[in-house]
Structure 1
Amino acid sequence: MTQEPVISIRNLNHYFGQGDLKKQVLFDINLEIYAGEIVIMMGPSGSGKTTLLTLIGGLRALQEGSLKVFGYELDGASKEQLVNIRRDIGYIFQAHNLLEFLTAWENVQTALELHEDIPVEEFRARADAILKEVGLEHRANYFPDNLSGGQKQKVAIARALVSHPKLLLADEPTAALDSKSGRDVVELMQHLSQEQGCPILVVTHDNRILDIADRIIRMEDGRLTPAAIAT
């Protein structure tokens, strides 16, 4: 039986602006990513990597082409359908996007609140366990203002992983981390991929983590290079 891809993209184009200011930023993107696969996307700043990531995550409306996640077509999907799909995706952004008025464990807990099947009484234990895995158990009750940039990013990574997502999208996850912390984080992501078959798409400029990839793809001026799509 042929395995169905978790992400399937066909002839995807995307534009910014309107009228005379309309500019194409993604050109005829075709890509498939399968369960348990770690794919790293590289390329210059401004080449379209983050735009593609947000489209896959259902954070930006599709304009042209087909984009399926978990077998569901995002083009024309209702708000309710998009919310259901996003519940099963873990996001790690360039900016940590933590809520400043919540502690580290409370920030992590916000990801669990999206899942009705996870009992509320398990929230604290799960948040504490994932914070321990990223080495921040001693900072669980700290607010973001009292954390370093690297620690904030680790909290954001813990938030993305705590609900055991079916897909992980990571935009420069190690950018704010030193080499040891960065290695710890990617190994945690690798463990998630191996143990639960969770595919991971990572946008990065960090050459130190390329060894975890099953495949490396490259974006140039809004296009995936031919070598990028080869398996």
Structure 2
Amino acid sequence: MQTINPQKPVIFIQNLDHYFGTGKLRKQVLFNINLTINTGEIVIMTGPSGSGKTTLLTLAGGLRSAQSGNLQILGNELCNANSQQLTQARRSNGYIFQAHNLHGSLTAIQNVRMGLELQPKITAKEMLMQSQKMLEEVGLGDRLNYYPDNLSGGQKQRVAIARALVSQPKIVLADEPTAALDKQSGRDVVELMQKLAKEHGCTILLVTHDNRILDIADRIVYMEDGHLVREESGSLQGIGT
């Protein structure tokens, strides 16, 4: 994996505004966002529904183009980026979503292998070996050939984590990864994310409403009505908050 200069931010956001719609329907949804995230940090964004958390996450992930301000990901400016530039940016990221987004017709190992499909210069054998190793790391070495319908909610999310990390991304973006899980399964999932992120040297930006998991963060960013209203150290949060 390529070494990132620890002095250079992985995510650098400055004076970022964002709008939905055009003409009379144009509505501003992000206002003057300033945020810097460094290598290896776990940053949680929280706040009420509709506060702009997921919009900011999708911009940072290259899922849509930023419109105004500066948004640099791994040193590359994504404000007004074209589709080719956004595609290139997405190749440095792993994604974990609330609904896990597994393909029901594929086994666990086939789902994880999809995380390697866009990686250049990797053989089918290498993809299989890396996928199996990643599933073993998330504790599913005995579930390689299980289909999603035969896995619990927590196990499905573990497969999603394995898929997100199998390509050794520099950034992992997670949108409500515990929302569909019970308390213990959610706790297990985020602790696993925390452990693997540190071991693999990647940065996590995670959106959640789940106050029970805030303590895994190095920093917590609070959003409200499209504004970043404050941030604080994750060490201020206790387990079970």
- Scaled by the length of structure 1, what TM-score is found? 0.90
Verify the 8 A CA contact 2:44 2:208 in the aligned structure 1: yes
Q: How many residues align?
A: 230
Q: CA deviation at 1:230?
A: 8.3
Partner of 1:170: 174
Cα separation, 1, equivalents of 2:89 and 2:40: 18
Q: CA deviation at 1:229?
A: 7.3
Cα separation, 2, equivalents of 1:219 and 1:11: 15
Cα separation, 2, equivalents of 1:148 and 1:188: 16
Distance 1:196 1:155, change over 3 A: closer
Deviations along 1:151-210, whole A, 9 cap, x unmatched? Answer: 322221211111111011111112223333333322332223323431111111222221
Pairing of 1:54-65 with structure 2 (within 5 A): 54-65=58-69
Verify the 8 A CA contact 2:67 2:80 in the aligned structure 1: no
Q: CA deviation at 1:33?
A: 0.3
Pairing of 1:19-38 with structure 2 (within 5 A): 19-38=23-42
Partner of 1:100: 104
2:225 to 185, 204, 221: 221
Distance 1:2 1:101, change over 3 A: closer
Cα separation, 2, equivalents of 1:93 and 1:213: 18
Comparing 35-44 and 100-109, the one that deviates more:
100-109
Pairing of 1:97-136 with structure 2 (within 5 A): 97-136=101-140
Partner of 2:47: 43
Q: Matched residue of 1:5: which SS?
A: coil
Q: Matched residue of 1:138: which SS?
A: coil
Cα separation, 2, equivalents of 1:150 and 1:71: 35
Deviations along 1:56-104, whole A, 9 cap, x unmatched? Answer: 0000121111100000001233333322221110111122222222222
Distance 1:130 1:81, change over 3 A: same
Letter in 1 for 2:210: D
Comparing 22-31 and 148-157, the one that deviates more:
148-157
Letter in 2 for 1:228: E
Q: Percent identity?
A: 65
- Scaled by the length of structure 2, what TM-score is found? 0.87
Cα separation, 1, equivalents of 2:96 and 2:81: 23
Runs (4+) of structure 1 exceeding 4 A deviation are: none
Cα separation, 2, equivalents of 1:2 and 1:187: 24
Partner of 2:7: 3
Unaligned segments of structure 1, at least 5 residues: none
1:90 to 74, 94, 99: 94
Distance 1:76 1:23, change over 3 A: closer
Q: CA deviation at 1:136?
A: 2.7
Partner of 1:149: 153
Verify the 8 A CA contact 2:40 2:204 in the aligned structure 1: yes
Partner of 2:183: 179
Verify the 8 A CA contact 1:153 1:176 in the aligned structure 2: no
